[in-house]
A and B are shown apart, each in its own frame.
Chain A
Amino acid sequence: SAVISQKPSRDICQRGTSLTIQCQVDSQVTMMFWYRQQPGQSLTLIATANQGSEATYESGFVIDKFPISRPNLTFSTLTVSNMSPEDSSIYLCSGSRGPNTGELFFGEGSRLTVL
């Protein structure tokens, strides 16, 4: 299986601040994605991280709120900007070995609490 590591694993942040989550994957991973899992809820895809270009965002998510970078094949960051308590969630980095395979590997997630 592919190796995906994320940091921080958890953080507590103040309203109005921003937090950047880092994700490192191994070279088997070609596609990278960011998901959000709100408390007691399922996973929602935020965006696909594209190497060297702007991420592809899903409906309901915008670049100003969730800027994403992927400067190289194995590294991506997600920033949660101007946070509010509603942003308290687990943010998950995931990857796949090819396009649209559906077989995803996940990091352990970053649990974010906004006060």
Chain B
Amino acid sequence: GNSVTQMEGPVTLSEEAFLTINCTYTATGYPSLFWYVQYPGEGLQLLLKATKADDKGSNKGFEATYRKETTSFHLEKGSVQVSDSAVYFCAPCYDKVIFGPGTSLSVIP
């Protein structure tokens, strides 16, 4: 069946550091790709999306590019802030959304 693999944390970075969270998905068809974020004490929310190959999703300084050739959708941010501390989920959508295991990010001042 379809699946998603995601870099597991926890990840701890200093403020202003560069962030990459790796995500790869199974290549059955052409899923839409999503990153969701869960801030402490809050509900899950959509961070960004890309619906076809080579699309780049972006939001709040985060970016991810739909790479069909490597079946990847890595999340990046050039300079993280303390407020980015959260759990991040990679989530491809085939006929339904499959959530990755989540990556916990802590950003320290």
Chain A interfacial positions (CB closer than 8 Å to B): 41-45, 48, 92, 94, 100-109
Write the chain A residue with the least CB distance to B92. Answer: A102
Write the chain A residue with the least CB distance to B1. Answer: A59
Which residues of the partner chain A approach B92 to less than 8 Å between Cβ atoms? 102
B17 interfacial by beta-carbon distance below 8 Å: no
Contact-residue bracket for chain B: 20 to 34
Q: A101-B32, A102-B32, A102-B97 are in contact. Are A42 and B45 (CB under 8 A)?
A: no
Give the top 10 A-B pairs by smallest Cβ distance, nearest first: A102-B93, A108-B43, A106-B44, A43-B99, A102-B32, A42-B99, A106-B43, A42-B101, A102-B97, A42-B102
Chain B interfacial positions (CB closer than 8 Å to A): 31-32, 34, 36, 42-46, 49, 89, 91-93, 95-97, 99-102
Asked whether B46 lies within 8 Å of A45 as measured between CB atoms, the reply is no
Asked whether B46 lies within 8 Å of A103 as measured between CB atoms, the reply is yes
Shortest CB distance A102–B (Å): 3
Specify which of A41, A92, A94, A103 lies most central, judged by the most chain B CB atoms within 10 Å of its CB.
A103
